[in-house]
């Protein structure tokens, strides 16, 4: 069996928060929380940071990660994460050999614990998946959607026959905290999800990610309330 590697994509540019991936978050650069979570997770063979920013790469190296310089042509706002993972995997496999499973955590989703990553890896292997996403469960919210014609409609319940909240079927939100996939599936599908897709569950409050200063303050409050006690 090949290695289980983690690939942290962290571009230098950001519109919402300048330098978002290394902004101070509860006393550390944001990316450091992800690196430390991975270092404390069992079953991971190596941790890699891929970035077009030398500042980010330096922080990665200083905190124990191996680094990959991501080309600028796949680092812009329109670049996909898939292009970054494909580039990183080519370099990693040239250095360490075959990669069996890649884990791809999102830096801007810091509300995560090593136990979440370990559970995801167990679920992935136990369910014999080809790809997997982390999710959070919503059990008692009424969802609506608005169409292009501005008309709205209920999604997960019939408003004409409103039942009890506890009778609503579970909804699973792809929360973006981390993904797992086999490299060959990523290459074949050019997509993080393909083949047999699974999901691994996280607590609801861990689903929030940082895109704005308001998000940053909220996630810091949640981090202090639940993880830094």
In the chain, domain spans: 3-227
Task: Give the confidence band of 2 by pLDDT, cuts at 50, 70, 90.
Answer: low
Residues in the chain: 229
Per the CB < 8 A criterion, the answer to whether 102 and 192 are in contact is no
Strands 28-29 and 24-25: antiparallel
Whether the Cβ atoms of residue 45 and residue 121 lie closer than 8 Å to each other? no
Q: What is the mean pLDDT of residues 122-135?
A: 99
Give 145's contacts (C-beta < 8 A, 6+ positions apart): 152, 153, 155
pLDDT at 19: 95
Which is it for the CA torsion 136, 137, 142, 145, positive or negative?
A: positive
pLDDT at 1: 44
Q: Considering only CA atoms, which of 119, 121, 139, 112 is closest in space to residue 45?
A: 121
CATH of domain 3-227: 3.90.550.10
Mean model confidence pLDDT for the chain: 96
- Of 61, 162, 165, 224, which is the active-site residue? 162
Quickly tell me which residue has 């699973």 as its tokens: 172
Instruction: Say if CB 200 and CB 132 are below 8 A apart.
Output: yes
Share of the chain above pLDDT 70, in %: 99
Over residues 113-131, mean pLDDT: 99
Residue 32's H or E segment, with its range, is helix 30-39
Give the pLDDT mean for 174-187. 98
Q: What share of the chain is helix, strand, coil (3-state, %, to 5)?
A: 40, 25, 35
Concerning whether 162 is annotated as a catalytic residue, the answer is: yes
Q: pLDDT for 132-179, tens place per residue?
A: 999 999 888 888 999 999 999 998 888 898 888 777 888 999 999 999
pLDDT in the model for residue 29: 99
Strands 171-181 and 99-105: antiparallel
């Amino acid at each position: 069996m090949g290695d289980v590697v983690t690939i942290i994509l962290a571009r230098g540019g950001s519109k919402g928060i300048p330098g978002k991936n290394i902004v101070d978050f509860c006393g550390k650069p944001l990316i450091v929380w992800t690196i430390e979570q991975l270092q404390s997770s069992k079953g991971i063979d190596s941790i890699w940071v891929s970035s077009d920013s030398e500042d980010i790469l330096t922080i990665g190296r200083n905190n124990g990660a191996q680094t990959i310089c991501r080309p600028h042509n796949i680092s812009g706002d329109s670049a996909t994460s898939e292009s970054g993972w494909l580039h990183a995997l080519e370099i990693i496999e040239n250095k360490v050999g075959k990669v069996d499973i890649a884990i791809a955590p999102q830096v801007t989703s810091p509300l995560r614990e090593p136990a979440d990553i370990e559970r995801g890896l167990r679920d992935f292997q136990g369910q014999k998946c080809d790809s997997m996403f982390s999710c959070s469960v919503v059990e008692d919210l009424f969802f609506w959607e608005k169409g292009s014609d501005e008309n709205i409609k209920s999604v997960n319940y019939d408003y004409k026959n409103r039942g009890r909240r506890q009778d609503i079927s579970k909804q699973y939100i792809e929360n973006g905290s981390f993904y797992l996939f086999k490299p060959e599936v990523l290459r074949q599908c050019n997509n993080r999800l393909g083949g047999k897709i699974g999901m691994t569950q996280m607590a609801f409050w861990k689903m929030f990610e940082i895109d704005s200063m308001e998000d940053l303050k909220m996630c810091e409050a949640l981090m202090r309330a639940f993880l830094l006690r």
